Amino acid sequence: MKTAGNTVRERTSASRGTPCLLAAFLLLAAGVAPLVFVPGVSSAAVDWTLSPDIPKKPAAVKLSGLDRGTAYDLWADVLVTNYGVSVKFVKALYDRGYDYGDVALLMEDSRAARKEPEEVAPYKLKGLGWGAIAKKMGVHPATLERAKGNESLYRRYTLARCLANYHKMPDDRSVVLLNEKGYGFDEIILASNVCAHTGSPLRSVVSARQTGMKWRFVAEKHKMSPAKLGTPPGKSGAAKDKAAAPAKTGKTPTTSKSQGKK
């Protein structure tokens, strides 16, 4: 049964919607595409927990070159979010042979030393590890302290923290656990992206991948279009990325490193 109050609220809602529709029409008439906000699943609503006794990643489960490229693109968005640089800056480092772990550790050391990345990068050319570079500059990033100076753990904990921050996970324990079980961070970010888009529990996505199922089929199993595998959560495929934003630093460090495994 309608009341006078209900009628007023309905009319008010309708009047609020009219200017929005009119504005969209005017933008389209002028040749300007209005921004479209696509509703998605809140990463905070995802169940990120994993049992400590999950099986190790089967040796027969391999990542395709296409999926690895997709993972690199997703990691670029994670690095942009964590360190405030642009996609253009991150991908310029990719082009110079850095993998996403190198970019994260370069930014971690630079931030701790309060230096620009191009001031820190030359140390890498001398063959020093990122942990050794931090020590040489007299800084001790939190993740390096947690790793007790171990270079591979420094990389693991830095990437795990970045991904946990990105998805607003309660902590990074599940990410660390997956890496301990043999999953590379390219596999892990694909799994987390499926979770973020669909709201599926992390254990369900990992379980599907453990059977050897290809990532496109893992996505379909969880009611997600494979075309969205490379789309960061909360963004439509047509949305502009942050590549047009100015880089945080004026120059991109140069190196002769070749892109390697995580």
User: What pLDDT shows up at residue 41?
Assistant: 47
pLDDT exceeds cutoff 90 at 90: yes
pLDDT exceeds cutoff 70 at 252: no
pLDDT exceeds cutoff 80 at 259: no
* Number of domain units in the chain: 2
Residue 237 lies in a domain: yes
pLDDT exceeds cutoff 80 at 262: no
User: What pLDDT shows up at residue 45?
Assistant: 86
Arithmetic mean of pLDDT, 17-42: 33
Q: For the whole prediction, is pTM greater than 0.85?
A: no
Distance set, CA 186 to CA 31, 219, 233 (Å): 39, 15, 16
The long-range contacts involving 70-75, CB below 8 angstroms and separated by at least 24 positions, are 70/190, 70/215, 70/229, 70/230, 71/185, 71/186, 71/187, 71/189, 71/190, 72/99, 72/100, 72/186, 73/230, 74/189, 74/190, 74/193, 74/230, 74/232, 75/100, 75/185, 75/186, 75/189
Mean pLDDT of the chain: 79
pLDDT exceeds cutoff 60 at 243: no
pLDDT exceeds cutoff 60 at 211: yes
Question: pLDDT, tens digit, for every residue of 134-162?
Answer: 988 888 888 888 889 899 999 999 999 99
Residues 23 and 46 in one domain: no
Nearest to 189 by CA among 93, 71, 29: 71
Residues 50 and 152 in one domain: yes
User: What pLDDT shows up at residue 251?
Assistant: 52
User: What pLDDT shows up at residue 28?
Assistant: 28
> How many residues are listed for the chain in this entry?
262
Residues 132 and 211 in one domain: yes
Q: What residue type is 94 in one-letter code?
A: Y
Nearest to 194 by CA among 37, 40, 50: 40
User: What pLDDT shows up at residue 125?
Assistant: 75
Percent of the chain with pLDDT over 70: 73
Residues 48 and 117 in one domain: yes
Using pLDDT thresholds of 50, 70 and 90, give the confidence band for residue 244: very low
Domain that holds residue 223: 41-244
Q: How far, in Å, CA of 156 to CA of 116, rounded?
A: 23
Q: How far, in Å, CA of 61 to CA of 109, rounded?
A: 34
Residues 185 and 94 in one domain: yes
Residues 117 and 106 sit within 8 Å (Cβ to Cβ): yes
Question: pLDDT, tens digit, for every residue of 30-76?
Answer: 333 332 223 344 566 899 999 999 999 999 999 999 999 999 999 99
Residues 27 and 47 in one domain: no
Residues 9 and 138 in one domain: no
- Buried (b) or exposed (e) across 144-176, using 16+ Cβ within 10 A? beebeeeeebbbbbbbbbbbbebbebeebebbb
Residues 22 and 53 in one domain: no
Distance set, CA 81 to CA 94, 104, 128 (Å): 17, 11, 27
Residues 46 and 200 sit within 8 Å (Cβ to Cβ): yes
Residue 254 lies in a domain: no
Residues 4 and 63 in one domain: no
pLDDT exceeds cutoff 60 at 241: no
Using pLDDT thresholds of 50, 70 and 90, give the confidence band for residue 236: low
Residues 12 and 136 in one domain: no
For 107, the token pair is 């930014």
Q: How far, in Å, CA of 163 to CA of 157, rounded?
A: 10
User: What pLDDT shows up at residue 70?
Assistant: 97
pLDDT exceeds cutoff 60 at 24: no
